Every structure is written in structure tokens, then in C-alpha cells.
Structure 1
Amino acid sequence: MNLFQHWKHHVGAAIMLAASLSAHADDLLGRVKQHGELLVGTEMQFAPFDFLENGQQAGFNKDLFAAVGKIMGVKVRFIDLPWDSVLPGLDAKKFDMVAGPLTVTKARMERYAFTYPIADATDALLKRANDASIKQPSDIAGKVVGAQKSSAQNEQLKTYAATLKQTPEVREYVDNNQAYADLASGRLSAVANSLTNIAYVAKQRPAVFAVVQPAFGSKVYFAYCMRKDADSQSLDDAFNAAISTLNKNGELAALQKKWFGVAVSLPMALPTPNT
């Protein structure tokens, strides 16, 4: 091989490599791997999934995304926003996906692509531990209750409230911590959130809060989401493959026990929600 042929061979190889890298980066997963970073939008006021502890992120999401990132070979960077800004941020492509997590609903499935379920999201009520007037969900009739603005739990609460003989007043909050504070101070009689979330809150402050049994919402699941387009499909597939791996090797169950207090069997496919 002469010098010109040698040069031509290397240039050709470089062009092929560049073309390969370009093709690989044509979808979201390719770009994430090329940059070595998965950008995730979330709201860090949603314990036990995402919250701040001494000014630092803590919770189930941080641990699970770290495990998924290790499998995928990328680092994970979270962007903390008020919840009602998170989905618009995803739509505007300010990040690759949303941690949240979100309650999977029919309306949301029409607009977003979801990962496999990562927790139970069935809606339930949190009350003050010393409030004997609420023994079951229907006892909130005529009372003042609260939930987070723009959340599926808020919508479920409003739907349930409309079925009661005396409709309760539903107040909306920017984040759940504000609602819990108003509940503790007596400005609310109950707060609606997923059973997973309120069980954690009651466990942390048993002298202040208690869970109202049974849950009032229909069976639904939490999952993470991304844009519903061909560009994001490869990332969704890779993320689901990682969740499946963590489910099989026991890491997902271990994280559930760590943050929820109990491991719940989850379907490794997304069930179609009733609502």
C-alpha cells in the first residue's frame, strides 16, 4: 500500500466512523450515550421518591436512576422544578425524560410514553393521627381537603368528592409539603396522595399523621415518562430493559423495601388504566 492509498484508507475509515456515530446519535438514546448524560426533570418535594435532605437530593428516584444509569453506561443529572412546570419542560425538550414519577392514566398515555411501572400509585387519604372523625374515606364529606395541583391524585380526589352526599372543599397546593403542613395545623382535614407517599409520611411522623384505610382510588401505577415520538422510543426501550434487569436481580425490590418499607410485585409491562 503506497502513501496515497494509506491516506485514502484512513480517511475512508474516519468517514465511515463519523457516519456511524452520526447515525447512532440520530435518536435520543444515541445522543444521551454520546453525551454520557441522561437529563431528567423532577420535583424534589415528593417523598419518598424525590426530596431534599440537608439540601441534597435523596429518595427512591436517585437510587433507581443511579442503578439504571450504571446499566446504560451514562451519568444522570436531575433538574428540580415545581411540578406544574415539569411536563411543559419535557414538551419543550429541556430534558430527556421525567422522573416524577407520574400516575399512569389513559389521558397521559395518549400524550406521553411511559416506562414499566416502578411503584403502586393507588390514591388514599392522610389525616391527623388524633382525628377520630375520619374512620373511612367517605368521612371527608363536607370537610376541607387538599391535594397537589396538576396531579392525578387531585383529579381522583375531585372525582371521588363528587360522589359523596356533601361535597368536600378541595384545595390545591403547589407541592405536597405545603398540604401536609396545613393538615398538621388543622387547616385541612385530609390530604389525598398515593398510598405509597402517605404511608411514608405517616411512618416518618406517626404522632402527627395516620393513613385512612382503605384506599379510595382505583388501582393505578407510578412510572417515569418521556416524549411520545420515534426519537424517544430507543430510550424508553433501554430504560425498560434496565428496569427488567433490576427486577430480575432483586435490586428493584431492595430499593422498594428501603424507601417504601415493603416490596410490591409489579408488572413488567404497562397495564391499561381504567381511567
Structure 2
Amino acid sequence: MTFQTSLKSALFGLSALTLAATGALADQLADIKAAGKIVAATEMHYAPFDMLENGEYVGFDRDLFDEIAKELGVTPEYQDLPWTSILPGLEVKKFDFVLAPVTMTAERAERYAFTLPISDATVAFVQRKGGPLSTPEDAKGKTVGTQKGTAQEIQLQAFSDKIGGITIKGYGTPDEAYADLMTGRLDAVAGSAPLLNYLAKTRPADFAVVNPPFGKPTYFAFVARKGEGDTLIAAINEAIKKIEDDGRMKALQEKWFGAATELPQEMPQL
């Protein structure tokens, strides 16, 4: 065999491997459509995005993804998992998609494929009605709770460093932090503004949001596996755009958040 023939054979083999890899990466959407279902995971303790009411899964994410699944022509199946197991579970293919609202960060974008934004995620404080904070800076020297392992926890730590010190307590779920806030073990809880606004709206005698938010403007999105999930993300983004354009997104925002918010229709700079 001549060197030229060997080179041609090697190049042909490389091309075949490249095409095979490309095909494999494009298979997830086709596989989901062939199965007729998409399995999505979230933590159902993140009101108003994901909640259990009398054992039934409800919330903004459920309503929105039901509409997305209709556009894809598949049936959604939902799994309730602890937040700390959701992104690792996606990576090892325990389910197809992450329905939990994931804060969009540059670090996460290196590992996961984000959809277009589905909600604002800017971080703020909530306190008991009549609590000690008039501005976010008043949190200096106070004890503040937040959910462990979240982008909100990272932003709270950065804000603590900026203003000179906050005692931070981590919790498994926001509900656990709110319970300690009500008993006086915390001065405030840090979380994304939509969650805190919903909490104050539904329990106005107990909670009040501290304005303005202290975090940098950020967004929530859904997540798929990077590479393999690219075709799925593209299809879901088209569905999100359609849902925004025909008014369904606005209706869902008003239903769950009390007001509609305009969202980017292109990927934001992270």
C-alpha cells in the first residue's frame, strides 16, 4: 500500500467517524420523538415555578413545558428530585432534560446547553413583615439564609464580601429557609426576585421583599446536555419563541408572577 493510499484511507476513516459522531449528537430529539415522550426533572419545592399541591405537580414551569411539549408533539413526564442531584443526573442520562429553572452563568454554559431565558432571576432579599432591612446594604452583620449549591448563594457571598460581612446559612430548599425566617432564626432570605415576590404576594402579612434587588441582572433557563442536546435545545427555543409571540408566555407570567416581563429572544451575554 502506498503512502498516498494510506493517507486517503485514513482521511476516509476520519470522515466516517466525524459523520458518525455528528449523527450521534443529533439523535436526542429524534429519539425523544420516536419514543413519543420527554422525561424532564425538577425540584417541586420552588414556588411559583415548581410546586406540589395535594400531590399534584403545578407551577409556571409545568404550564410552560406542557405548552412546549405540545409544540414538539410529545408527552412530558416529570420527575421530582433534590436540586443537588438534578444537574449530575442530567450528565449521566437519568432523564432527557432539566425543567428546573437554572440560573444562566458562563460557568454552567461551558458544561450544559441552555434554552432561551424563561424568566428573570435577579437576586433580592425577603424578610419578615416589619423586619430590620430598609435597603439591601442593611444586611451587613445580619444572618441570611439561601438555598445551598445555587447561583444565588454565590451572589450572596459576593455581596457579603462587598458590604463587609453577612452570616450565611445554607438550606436544602427555599421553604426550609422561609420557615427559619418566620421563627426569627434568620434576618432575611436571599433568592431570585420572582420567587420572593410570589412569596410576599401570597403571604403579605408575613413577608416583605427588600427593594431594589442586590444581584446583577440574570435569567433562568431550562437545560439539556451539551452537544447531544443541541438539536433538542433548538427545537425548544423555536417553541418558546412561538409561545412568546402568540401571547401564551404573557398569560403564564401574569398567572404565576402577577405581571408580564419581556424576555430576550436571543441568548444573553453571560
| Runs of 5+ unmatched residues, structure 2 | 1-22
Q: 2:229 aligns with which of 223, 228, 232?
A: 232
C-alpha distance in 1 between matches for 2:25 and 2:128: 52
Could you tell me which residue of structure 2 aligns to residue 108 of structure 1?
A: 108
C-alpha distance in 2 between matches for 1:79 and 1:134: 37
Alignment of 1:32-181 (within 5 A): 32-131=32-131, 133-165=132-164, 167-181=165-179
Secondary structure of the structure 2 residue equivalent to 1:264: coil
Secondary structure of the structure 1 residue equivalent to 2:52: strand
Secondary structure of the structure 2 residue equivalent to 1:139: helix
C-alpha distance in 2 between matches for 1:164 and 1:226: 36
Q: 1:244 aligns with which of 231, 234, 241?
A: 241
TM-score of the superposed pair, with normalisation by structure 2:
0.90
Does structure 2 retain, via aligned residues, the 8 Å contact 1:24–1:31?
no
Could you tell me which residue of structure 2 aligns to residue 272 of structure 1?
A: 269
C-alpha distance in 1 between matches for 2:220 and 2:214: 16
Secondary structure of the structure 2 residue equivalent to 1:162: helix
Does structure 2 retain, via aligned residues, the 8 Å contact 1:201–1:209?
yes
Could you tell me which residue of structure 2 aligns to residue 208 of structure 1?
A: 206
C-alpha distance in 2 between matches for 1:97 and 1:72: 14
Match status 1:261 vs 2:258: yes
Secondary structure of the structure 2 residue equivalent to 1:47: coil
Match status 1:222 vs 2:235: no
Secondary structure of the structure 2 residue equivalent to 1:271: coil
Does structure 2 retain, via aligned residues, the 8 Å contact 1:142–1:168?
yes
C-alpha distance in 2 between matches for 1:26 and 1:216: 40
C-alpha distance in 1 between matches for 2:206 and 2:96: 38
Does structure 2 retain, via aligned residues, the 8 Å contact 1:84–1:150?
yes
Offset, 1:130: 2.0
Secondary structure of the structure 2 residue equivalent to 1:108: helix
Does structure 2 retain, via aligned residues, the 8 Å contact 1:24–1:30?
no
C-alpha distance in 1 between matches for 2:205 and 2:154: 29
| Runs of 5+ unmatched residues, structure 1 | 1-22
Q: What one-letter code is carried by the residue in structure 2 that aligns with 1:64?
A: L
Does structure 2 retain, via aligned residues, the 8 Å contact 1:25–1:31?
no
Could you tell me which residue of structure 1 aligns to residue 12 of structure 2?
A: none
Secondary structure of the structure 1 residue equivalent to 2:205: coil
C-alpha distance in 1 between matches for 2:267 and 2:84: 24
C-alpha distance in 1 between matches for 2:187 and 2:249: 34
Alpha-carbon displacement from aligned partner over 1:68-106 (angstroms, at most 9, x marks no partner): 111110010111111001101001111111011111011
Offset, 1:26: 5.9
- Count the aligned residue pairs: 248
Secondary structure of the structure 2 residue equivalent to 1:210: strand
C-alpha distance in 2 between matches for 1:263 and 1:87: 28
Could you tell me which residue of structure 2 aligns to residue 6 of structure 1?
A: none
Offset, 1:270: 1.4
Superposition CA RMSD, Å: 1.3
C-alpha distance in 1 between matches for 2:214 and 2:26: 45
